[in-house]
Structure 1
């Protein structure tokens, strides 16, 4: 995953995008984590239309759809998300995006839950948070609106302000407090976690097998190697990735072809043959369906996925407009996060030694 600093109107945005196949072989099941380091316990980003492979990581991830439609498969559950929808993906939960509308803009934040628990939120990293706005009504959407403001401010930077890093750290702390105070949660199911670990490792092994083979193995061959029935491994694969094995292998070959169009001078026919597409009509139709353009147009930089997932100037301007609108609620977000809203005021007292009851 690549990141850039994109300047618009005196503010910067963290832009994230992917190159085809770049996630494979990275740490934590192919996902390169940018958040938890000695000096960084959060990471905010925005990206356009991309497909993100099956992965998981130890950070909590919060996603906000700024525009368009976004489909996630989270621990085997398909989540259809539209504009303004928010989802919290808990730590170590496998997920991937299988399709994104071509106008999609996604804002995301990673929080190192263990860090915030050490900072003073007891049990923060062990909770299983329940936030999927597409499953709730309008009242819940209003309830989590302040979270969008905090996410927006983490993506937006004020350039030329030496205190900006402190501000961003403060906002990240407020976001963690908001999740801790305002988002419903349940205790994680230990048995489900063990099953999840076994399933995701098996899925990764299949994905690695596909990636290492010059010619994709049939699913029946993989099933025999794994000691599973064909029907079981087929259901397992589609449940976790939201896509059938045959379509997954085809998309892998299409992504490789797209990458070769970008970085090599090979003719389209050579690239087509190198990636096991024997019928030019099939290749062109499948390529256009996945990337929104012909192979020749993709080579000229008109592709709508892959490297094009880097925001255009128009997309960046629209993103800035949407995020600035959300960030206007930062005051309300701070009230809820620090507990001095109408509900919280009933529990407010003076701390010792000024509290008379404490003397």
Structure 2
């Protein structure tokens, strides 16, 4: 099963992640992956090919797809497009899960679908403009969207095979969620495996099978992702950023950063600053 786990980090000022799809210029692919978040792709212009649960959907202007937590999916967009992506952490729906501790959503009738599209579109443009008081409006619309999902898009009876697959991926979701919350701590494989009742060998195996990387690589990837966000958004010293995000020193951070970005953190910061 050639799939990977995707880490979803909410926007700094929001309880969810909202952005324009990275493949807007076309000639772009996202390989098979899964995450613990509920995801909405809404095409504003152009088209994208979406593959989910062995089905192919060609999304064109004003069409959307709902991706449930732990559903394997991939995307291809050979042509330019403008697509809004909204990712909602799975735990947001904790109070509305069924007896199997899962909640699924699916497209409904034309009226409900139109409500969802209008809310997602408005949510995005309000957030983009960031006019005075936008934070209240964005969060208000977000909660309207959550209410709409729960009342009009929730699947009442989930397929047993769907539940089985979710349970397989849930084991790793729980571990990666814990790692996300504690990535800056000393997270040794043995200790994390013990916490979740696994053997170190078993935890290593499910990382390689589902995340397509070993445990240590995943942890370092996680630390770099959070460090990059601070690197871009602040003028803090690189050594300070390294220590804050779980690296023993700036040298270890620089080595991990260069392996993933092809340059040193200082060079990357200068490059980003020059484009603003």
**TM-score, normalising length: structure 2:** 0.52
Alpha-carbon distance in structure 2 between the residues aligned to 1:208 and 1:57: 13
| Distance of aligned partners of 1:53 and 1:67 in 2 relative to their CA distance in 1, 3 Å threshold | same
**How much does 1:109 deviate?**
0.8
CA shift digits 1:146-174 (9 cap, x unpaired): 2112111222223341x221221111111
Alignment match, 1:44? 18
Is 2:53 the counterpart of 1:84?
Answer: no
Once the two structures are superposed, what CA deviation does each residue of 1:266-316 show, in whole Å capped at 9, x if it has no partner?
A: xxxxxxxxxxxxxxxxxxxxxxxxxxxxxxxxxxxxxxxxxxxxxxxxxxx
Q: Tell me which structure has the larger Cα radius of gyration.
A: 1
Q: Aligned residues, how many?
A: 172
Cα distance in 1 for partners of 2:31, 2:151 equals 32
Aligned to 1:187, the other structure's residue is in SS state: coil
| 1:78–1:197 Cα change, 3 Å | farther
Is 1:126 the counterpart of 2:96? The answer is no
Matched, 1:63 2:41: yes
Q: Does 1:149 align with 2:125?
A: no
Are the structure 2 counterparts of residues 203 and 106 from structure 1 closer, same or farther at C-alpha, using a change threshold of 3 Å? farther
Q: Which residue, out of 10, 14, 20, partners 1:35?
A: 10
Three-state SS of the structure 1 residue aligned to 2:87 is strand
d(CA) in 2 for partners of 1:189, 1:82: 28
Question: Does 2:152 align with 1:182?
Answer: yes
**Please, which runs of 5 or more residues in structure 1 have no aligned partner?**
1-27, 134-139, 210-261, 265-359
Match of 2:221 in 1: none
* Residues 144/95 of structure 1: CA separation in 2 closer, same or farther (3 Å cut): same
CA distance in structure 2 between the partners assigned to 1:93 and 1:166 by the alignment:
31
Distance (Å, rounded) in 1 between the aligned partners of 2:167 and 2:94: 23
Taking structure 1 as the reference length, the TM-score comes to 0.41
Q: Which aligned pairs between 1:78-227 and structure 2 lie closer than 5 A? A: 78-97=56-75, 99-118=76-95, 122-123=96-97, 126-131=102-107, 140-156=109-125, 157=127, 158-161=129-132, 163-195=133-165, 205=209, 208=212
Distance 1:57 1:263, change over 3 A: closer
Q: Which residue in 2 is equivalent to 1:278?
A: none
Root-mean-square deviation (Å): 3.5
Deviations 1:60-97 (A, max 9, x none): 10111112221111122222222211111111111111
Q: SS where residue 66 of structure 1 aligns?
A: strand
Distance 1:51 1:45, change over 3 A: same
Shift in alpha-carbon separation, 1:164–1:36, aligned structure 2, 3 A: closer
- Residues 91 and 154 of structure 1, relative CA distance in 2, 3 Å threshold: same
- Structure 2: where are the runs of 5+ without partners? 173-204, 214-260, 264-276
| Corresponding residue SS for 1:55 | strand
Structure with bigger RCO (C-alpha 8 Å, 6+ apart): 1
Distance in 2, matches of 1:83 and 1:70, equals: 9
* Alpha-carbon distance change, 196 to 164 in structure 1, aligned in 2, over 3 angstroms: closer
